Chain A
Amino acid sequence: MKLIKFKLLFGGIFYKKLRLFLSILGITIGVASLFTMHTFGESARVRTLQQIETFGPNLLMIVSGQARVRAGRALQAEQTTTLKLEDAQALRRISEITNISPFYTGSAIVRQGGRNISTVINGVNEEYLKIRKFEISEGRNFLKDEIVGFKKVAILGHKVKKELFGNGKAEGETILINRLPFIVIGVLSPIGVDASNQDQDDQILIPITTAMSALFNVDYITGIYVAVSSPDVVPIVEKQIDEILLKRHKVSPKDRDFNIIKAEDIFKFRQEASQLFTTLVQSVSILCLIVGSLGVTAVMLLSVNERRKEIGLRLAIGADRLKILLQFLLESIFISFLGGLIGLFLGIFASIIFLPLLKYPLVIAWRPIIVSSLLTIIFGLISGIYPAYRASKIDPAILLKGM
């Protein structure tokens, strides 16, 4: 009986299937994009947080040159050669610094067996792994002697190891980096992409001394990683580093030839970038919903016009105008909600497919689901007001004019 009642009230919606499809299309697209983008935004946020973990709040990075943080990345505006290994040594006298590792980054061709790959070579010291909180899955870390002694030893990133050795053992094997033989002493656990957007699995770590002399033949370094005792002392340490380096480089603050980057900076810029993205996408989706609901309005107007006789009949058999108004308002809400529901499913579907594909963590948040559902109901209501008003104003006298 409920079913018959429901059918007699809303059966008209399903009578013209194509029209129903067209009217929900706009809403469906709007909600699907709203939801998908929301999910992507949320996922990006979670990913950023994960990346920040590899660049902890107690870390500082000093890079040479006029580096800037842009869009969450440390960009080196120009290469300068003024940052030296001795600068890193000099920083050790700051008491709050617990670990320090200079680094030199270059790229090289690596050969093993018949395989050639091109990868990133990072010259570091034995403290680097501790600073970055990188784990070793096989073998061991560098020894201090190996760093001081210009030893040709290497720790492979997870992906590099896979490419060179597959599932086999890498420890103890010899690889050629730019034709120089290095002995593999360890392999890193999978890390992923870090805050500077570099794939930390696609790299080889070697002693900084070896990198600067034998491999790249330079007398300067790319930067210095510094770990401090607690996040609270970061500002003090930053200031001290700045003073020491300015003095050593004999430059005024305005000609500073190095840059100090904190986790906070990266996080802040990342947040701003994703905020901008989210706002943009949300505005577009809302716009899409508005266009969609205009579509619903247009189709409902058409439908009201087409069903004038049905409306007249309902009035003649005892409906009052309020009931007609409510009926058509509910129809609009129903249509939008149906569109929204389908859009939601499409959005969830798209998220499940594309998030893993783009290597984003799969996050299905409740907030966008609730927000989109509410929005479709509201837009349905808004888009239904005028058609429903028109429906309620139909004169039942038309019934008697023959056809």
Chain B
Amino acid sequence: MKFSLNGLYIESYTKCANCGVLIYEASAEDSARKKVHEGSIYCSKECVDWKLDRDARRAKAAI
């Protein structure tokens, strides 16, 4: 989540593409954990892995 320079309003809401939690631009912890995968932002590697596992499982089930 990105605040304006003066801190008075929100310029953009950034959420993990998998679990949906807010990722705060100003948070060192959030910045350290976040991952970008195929153009989408994830809060952590765990969420990237979860998304890949789910896609693989559903693709297998669809065969």
Do the two chains belong together in a single complex? no
- B: residues with CB less than 8 A from A are none
